[in-house]
Amino acid sequence: MTEPHELTALQQAAALRAGELGAVELVEHALRRIERLDPTLAAFVTLTPERALDAARAAEKLLAGASGTAGSRRAEPGRAEAGSAEAAGLPPLLGVPTAIKDLAVTAGVRTTFGSPVYADYVPEVDDDAARLLAAAGTISLGKTAVPEFGLPPYTEPAGRPATVTPWDVRRLAGGSSGGAGAAVAAGLIAFAHGTDGGGSIRIPASVCGLVGLKTSRGLVSRGPVGGDPLGLSVSGPLARTVPDAAAMLDALAVPVPGEPFTRPVAGGESFLEAARRAEPGRLRIGRYARPMLPELTVDPACLAAYERTSELLADLGHEVVDLDPGTDPAFVEVFETLWAVLAHGHPVPLAAEHTLKPLTRWWRARGAAVSGPEFMAAAQAAHNVSRRVIAAHLAVDVALTPTLAQLPRPVGWFTDGGDPAHDPADDYARQQAFTPFTAIYNITGQPALNLPLGWTEPTDDRPVLPVGVQLVGAPGADRLLLELGASLAAAAPWDDRHPPTW
């Protein structure tokens, strides 16, 4: 008999509407898995079981009230979900458990931003992403773990155990959406909300074997609080399947008045419809695997996944060519200047500065030293970089890169085992070596999709590990990426792969 956590989010939604599964039953099942597995994974920082069960009971009442329409229809799992929900006037994902990243504020629920400075902070408003996911019927089980202020690409917050990948609990789950990645990969929830300011969705998606979409700038609201006036950081989904990611994006990609960025995707068919069609037509795929910093190298396993995907794309009929991405090492200094200033996005009382992690203090000190004119110059340089990179990518429909340059890193690898005296500059150098392909697309605002198309061979001291590849589209090409991703998933499925913790 299929267990509830083995169902995709869309299959869970269909089973709920067909009366094959109860919302309370589904939430209780997820909470039991969290109770059993999360002490090892450290995916959640805050759980809200009472709120979740109340929401599940409310969902069951709605489902019972619609039993004469969609509720009495036995939907084929993963296929008839949206139509039957709309026919009954139900939210499309009614009753499906999820979780909200702890960098997004949630009304009445503690939001720590990964820092002890905010250990007792309870916001009065919801992030638009949290609000929109609730409107789509999902039930949040709580907040997923993040590093302090989301600054590094790993999740080892102060005072908490490191968040680890379910594929090898000795290795980090990535960051800053590390808790979201671990929760979805371990089957605690079927999909989760993430944010991505320099790779923070794609990195945990790669090391946890998931689909992770960094959405186009302006597609998903980051209001009402914000904290990133440059628009580097966007909200998006992490999921085990492309259709689930598309369904979450349909819930998130709702226009919100007052957003500072132009909405890049026109109306029309839903993201889920595009993913289900999975027929992107013959595309010109440009590829590159050379990091901007020439001294960096790419692990052979990451290159193997990149080469395998290149061959798979060619076998599907696409034209695969080498691409000069239009980047140069000068971009790194621009990004660092902007990132250092954005490290001040969360106010910290002067008396509490000493409680911050060494890396956070290092970034904030660098940001405090940036003058107004220097920040303006960096912001203008970022626009110039974007123009060059986007123009270079116009030569192709989609770009292919490795997502990361290294396999999942062991716990403590970035921080010398958690030594409080470790050098933040060395920490950051290791971050650059780990993820040299992601941050450029936060500058340009282009959508970028991680797919788990590579897998290592097991060795005596290492189990099978997922290896992601990154697909990048023009601004607003989120549908195309999901459609291409779904076609690749059909050609090289990963549905039967589960981590040891499953």
Q: Is 84 helix (H, G, I), strand (E, B) or coil?
A: helix
Active-site entry in 84, 177, 200, 310: 200
Question: Which residue bears the tokens 């902070």?
Answer: 121
Q: 98 - beta bridge partners?
A: 140
C-beta of residue 269 within 8 angstroms of C-beta of residue 308: no
Q: Does the annotation mark 101 as catalytic?
A: yes
> Which amino acid belongs to residue 97?
P
The DSSP code sequence of 235-249 is EEEEESSHHHHHHHH
Question: Do 402 and 434 meet the contact criterion of CB atoms below 8 Å apart?
Answer: no
Active-site residue (options: 84, 101, 140, 357)? 101
Cα–Cα distance, 321 to 400 (Å, whole number):
10
Type of residue numbered 330: A
Confirm whether 200 is a catalytic residue. Answer: yes
Helix segments in 263-401, DSSP class H: 271-277, 300-315, 330-342, 358-368, 372-393
Angle at 209 between CA 404 and CA 103, to 5 degrees: 75
CA distance 357 to 158: 7
How far apart CA 179 and CA 143 sit, in angstroms, is 8
Q: Which residues contact 273 (CB under 8 A, 6 or more apart)?
A: none
Report d(CA 233, CA 214) in Å as an integer. 9
Beta bridge partners of 454: 467
Tokens 């989904």 belong to residue: 237
447: nearest Cα among 257, 252, 317: 252
Of the candidates 414, 419, 480, 472, the residue with the CA atom closest to the CA atom of residue 443: 472
The closest of 129, 111, 108 to 54, measured between CA atoms, is: 108
Buried b (16+ CB within 10 A) or exposed e, 486-498: bbbbeebebeeeb
d(CA 142, CA 222): 19
| Options 84, 140, 176, 216, the catalytic residue | 176
| DSSP codes joined into one string, 168-211 | EEEEE--SSSHHHHHHHHTTSSSEEEEEESSSTTHHHHHHHT-E
Amino acid identity, residue 241? T
Query: What does the alpha-carbon distance between residue 456 and residue 348 come to, in Å, rounded to a whole number?
Result: 42
What burial class does residue 462 get, using C-beta atoms within 10 Å of its C-beta: 0-12 exposed, 13-18 middle, 19+ buried? Answer: middle
CA–CA distance, 426 with 462 (Å, rounded to integer): 26
CB 343 within 8 A of CB 361: no
Which amino acids are annotated catalytic?
101, 176, 200
